A and B are shown apart, each in its own frame.
Chain A
Amino acid sequence: MKKVYFYGTCLVDLFFPDAGMAGIQLLRQAGLEVVFPEGQTCCGQPAYNCGYWEEARAVARAQVALFPDDLPVILPSGSCAGMMKVHYPELFHGEPDESQVRAFSGRVYELTQFLVDVLHVQLKDLGAPVKVTWHSSCHALRDLGLKGEPQSLLGQLENVEVAPLAREYECCGFGGTFSVRQPEISGAMVCDKSADAEATGASVLLSTDGGCLLNVNGALEAKQSQLRVQHIAEFLWERTHAR
């Protein structure tokens, strides 16, 4: 295949546009033409999670309509990819456009999943030695079943050392609306996650998900930590593209 769609996601659009650009760049570096349809907004997950399915469907429909061609749809987010791939079919069960949505869902991939499982990219590390740590976003891990694709990409970079994160698989506490509906519990979880991250001695925390990054970054900054966060797409692009 020579052409793919790219879905930015609302958090990347607003908070991590460089990661979005990097994702697109990585796909082009792999030889693909990337189409970014105008008018994309949000996958609808927040409303879906709160039980407001009519509102979620209305927004979801608007997204699906922007990707009519039979091309893969790549997302720089495990959470949003999970919503579109796994939960859209449930959300549209019994709806008149169910089969159309199912067809769309069948074409959805998270970025690292696509790079590894479909493109089998081979990356060359052009950067200086660095120690990073990896946070598995829950939806990437459990909804999408991402089993080590990000780690295998990092493993291809010979100057990158990945320090294991204690309780890597434990939720960072974002959970979308959870962070504002249960702020104390969410706060306790992100405090622990950021402490675990600092304890690795890494200089940067990586993840597939903007929500996790926003969450942990906020906590790290509040502690005036030296540890920064970065989206995996941005990191991979920085390490592998010749300047």
Chain B
Amino acid sequence: MHADTDILFRDSASQALLDPQLRANFRRAMDGLMAKRKAQFPDPQDLQELRELSTAIRSRSLLNLPTLLEQLETNLTRNGIQVHWAETCDEANQLILGLLQARGAKTLVKGKSMVSEEMHLNAFLEAHGIEALESDLGEYIIQLDDETPSHIIMPAIHKNKDQIARQFSQKIKDAKYTEDVDELTAMARKVLRQKFLDADAGISGVNFAVAETGTLCLVENEGNGRMSTHVPPLHIAVMGLEKVVANLEEVAPLYAILTRSATGQAVSTYFNLITGPRGEGELDGPQEVHLVILDNGRSRIYADPQLQATLRCIRCGACMNHCPVYTRVGGHAYEAVYPGPIGKILTPQMEGVGVRHDLLHGSSLCGACSEVCPVQIPIPDIIVRLRREATHTVATSSVMGKGSGRTSTEDWAWRIWAGVLKRPALYRLATWFATRFGRALPGSAPLLKHWTAHRTKPVPAKRSLSERIRAEGGPYV
């Protein structure tokens, strides 16, 4: 039986399935993103080589992680960027609050950062009287409605033009109602321009951190990232500890595969390399730059050689773009910071495999995700491994909540299943019953009723294959 604290993906997913607008929006959006990505990779051989190189680069980064993090810290510090470490989201939030309060910061602008979503940073700062305004257009849109992102790259992908038009006309001062995308964009530009100008601080994520040069790399299309990191006097970057790469040469292939996999762009509008605060003689740039390195369960994932592959992720979103489940239920149904296939393996490892057992079963293991993953994370294999961790308490395992998804019902079901299937005589008996009486089983029977909600009852053949072959006298040994 599920514990009360378990989060049931099935419940939120089935709700989402009933929303025709959501289904249509996501279908259209995902089909478009899949096509765009495909167009960027016309040569399968070239793509495979790029994937292998990217996988090798990320694997090396992970194998060398502690050394690279120390090297990164040394070089960032040498460059004038102050480095902080946080084991938990609470700690990270407190650290950032301290930095802001030290400067008397009251308003800040945010470049897009999924790690800051993980931290629930905005709500925390709000509770301490500091306004954190999202500046990425998609994030700005959802912030206006008090929502969370439904996709890691395109946070407002679930929203229609008319919804946004209505929202802007209601929530932006002096805004008229328009569904013209250029006009809506211009409205956001105008509002945010003033915010960039006035903000006491800017917060950003980090796409890649380069250990050798002590550099933070930011990928963006809108320019709000550069605005947030260059205009305010204080810039705070937040990063998961897995994002470090050895050198800038290694960043190049990752950058190339990231933009193509994410939005089907060969390159982003801006690729911003930050190697220090305002330098000697510079006339602009922040006076202070800080990096907060967040653990929040990553070191635990790191400890397992197979599960460590989860940390190769470069947050491109290709997995969710190709996922038949995500396409039908959208990101909010996951009730997690990270949706889609990567969310299916990250969330249970961060929150507990028992609590998130149902999420782990929200996959048909089709493998569309791992097929497009730029760094070849074997997501279906990891899902199966985590399902095992949920239902069995393996002594040597470090997985969070291991064994807490076990139920005696499921234990017995598989015990009986194995008991029959490893005994040919019992199997023969079971199939004899199924072929002779199977059609008498009512469609409303337990488990079968789930099937018959959308399909006719499966009817066994009059005689099984084995029975026929036996009756016809072979060919068998």
On chain A, the residues within 8 Å of B422 by CB distance are 41, 58-59, 61-62
On chain A, the residues within 8 Å of B424 by CB distance are 38-41, 62
Give the docked Cα–Cα distance between A175 and B364 (Å).
4
Q: Is B310 an interface residue (CB 8 A)?
A: no
On chain B, the residues within 8 Å of A139 by CB distance are 367
Q: Is B417 an interface residue (CB 8 A)?
A: yes
Contacting pair A214 B458 (CB below 8 A): yes
Number of A-B pairs whose CB atoms are under 8 Å?
200
Q: Is A235 an interface residue (CB 8 A)?
A: no
Contacting pair A185 B466 (CB below 8 A): no
Q: Nearest Cβ in chain B — how far from A217, in angstroms?
A: 8
Contacting pair B368 A51 (CB below 8 A): no
On chain A, the residues within 8 Å of B358 by CB distance are 181
Which chain A residues in 60-99 approach chain B with CB under 8 Å?
61-62, 90
Partner of A42, one of B13, B371, B421, B474: B421
Give the docked Cα–Cα distance between A52 and B385 (Å).
10
Interface size bucket, B side?
35 or more
Q: Is B392 an interface residue (CB 8 A)?
A: yes
Partner of A51, one of B23, B325, B390: B390
Contacting pair B324 A55 (CB below 8 A): no
On chain A, the residues within 8 Å of B456 by CB distance are 217-218, 221-222
We find that the number of chain A residues with CB closer than 8 angstroms to chain B is: 73
- Tell me what chain B mostly uses at the interface: helix, strand, loop, or mixed: helix
Contacting pair B361 A62 (CB below 8 A): no
Contacting pair B324 A50 (CB below 8 A): no
* Residue interface mask B407-425, A partner, CB < 8 A = 1: 0001000110110111010
On chain A, the residues within 8 Å of B474 by CB distance are 36
Contacting pair B361 A14 (CB below 8 A): no
Q: Nearest Cβ in chain B — how far from A170, in angstroms?
A: 5
* Residue interface mask B449-472, A partner, CB < 8 A = 1: 011011111111101111011100
Q: Is A31 an interface residue (CB 8 A)?
A: no
Contacting pair B13 A59 (CB below 8 A): no
Q: Which of B211-219, B220-228, B337-345, B427-435 contacts A (4 or more CB under 8 A)?
A: B427-435
Q: Is B160 an interface residue (CB 8 A)?
A: no
Which residues does A use to contact B, with CB under 8 Å? 8, 10, 12-18, 20-21, 24, 33-42, 44, 46-56, 58-59, 61-62, 90, 138-139, 141-143, 169-171, 173-191, 214-215, 217-219, 221-222
Contacts beyond the supplied A52-B410, A190-B454: 20 A-B pairs with Cβ under 8 Å: A14-B435, A15-B460, A24-B475, A36-B476, A39-B424, A40-B424, A41-B420, A52-B388, A52-B391, A52-B418, A59-B422, A61-B422, A142-B366, A169-B368, A171-B324, A177-B361, A179-B451, A181-B358, A183-B453, A219-B454
* Nearest 9 Cβ contacts at the A-B interface: A175-B364, A218-B455, A51-B388, A187-B454, A183-B450, A39-B424, A55-B418, A171-B366, A142-B367
Which residues does B use to contact A, with CB under 8 Å? 9-10, 13-14, 17, 23, 324-325, 328-329, 358, 361-368, 370-371, 381, 384-392, 410, 414-415, 417-418, 420-422, 424, 427, 431, 434-435, 447, 450-451, 453-461, 463-466, 468-470, 474-477
